[in-house]
Amino acid sequence: MIHPTAIVEEGAQIAEGVEIGPYAYVGPDVTIGSGTRIGSHARIEGWTTIGRDNRIFSHAVLGSIPQDLKYHGERTRLVIGDRNTIREFTLLNPGTEGGGGITRIGDDNLLMGYVHVAHDVQIGNHCILANAATLAGHVILGDFVVIGGMTPIHQFVRIGDHAMIAGASALSQDIPPYCLAEGNRAQVRGLNLTGLRRRFERETIDTLKRAYRTLFEGETAITDAARTLLENTDDPHVEKLCRFILESKRGIPYKRKHHVA
């Protein structure tokens, strides 16, 4: 299961059923769960923990030191969950002392070729990052987030559950859950209806549509509208949407639609 040309340093913890391909490298502080497959020439180093049944393709680099000038060799971690697919030439960095010390990737995610996940990023479950998507430090993604190809995300940006960022965008502010954003600089353009239709009933989507119109197309300031909605709804999805807006530190990028009388 471990190719004779692979280098697995003494101290690495490799579970049963792990496959390691030709010329791959696994460092001494790495832990790999059962069923994980590592392609040829992949490099896994640092204090990196990888769960079960992941597939890591050739030339991926996991756990190399952060691209942050404030990093001075402190022991920080990269933690990857279960059943993730990490494609060719991806680069995943561990955390930094100032950012909590952990970069964390959840379960069932797809990271396509040339994706970069920088220090202290937190990625939820069931996310898709298309080719060459780039996440700067401290970015937070919820669950079921889709990031289009060739899209950079500014540091400290938050993206809520079920949101989608279109390809070739450039995002520098927070995107609420359930929303679709695109452009350079990216702005909220509507709800992520394609994603919502895959996972929610029509009644839930209609409720989110009404909330979206109130928040983004009304005359009231978005934070005031969010507070009012939050006080008058018992729908958990609307509550999540409003709380995200009220808790945003980088702001929500959008423009009001101007209605012609």
Catalytic residues: 119-120, 137
Residues forming a β-bridge with 97: none
Q: Report d(CA 42, CA 62) in Å as an integer.
A: 8
Q: Report d(CA 171, CA 188) in Å as an integer.
A: 10
What is the bridge-based pairing of β-strands 37-38 and 122-123?
unpaired
Q: Report d(CA 239, CA 232) in Å as an integer.
A: 10
Per-residue DSSP letter, 247: H
What are the distances in angstroms from CA 223 to CA 35, 247, 259? 47, 10, 21
What is the greatest pairwise CA distance in the chain? 74
Place of tokens 């069932």: 108
Question: Would you say how long the chain is, in residues?
Answer: 261
Single-letter amino acid, residue 138:
H
Please provide the DSSP assignment of 141-167 as one string: E-SS-EE-TT-EE-TT-EE-TT-EE-T
Rounded to 5°, the CA angle 122-123-126 comes to: 165
Tokens of 146: 């889709």
Q: Report d(CA 244, CA 235) in Å as an integer.
A: 14
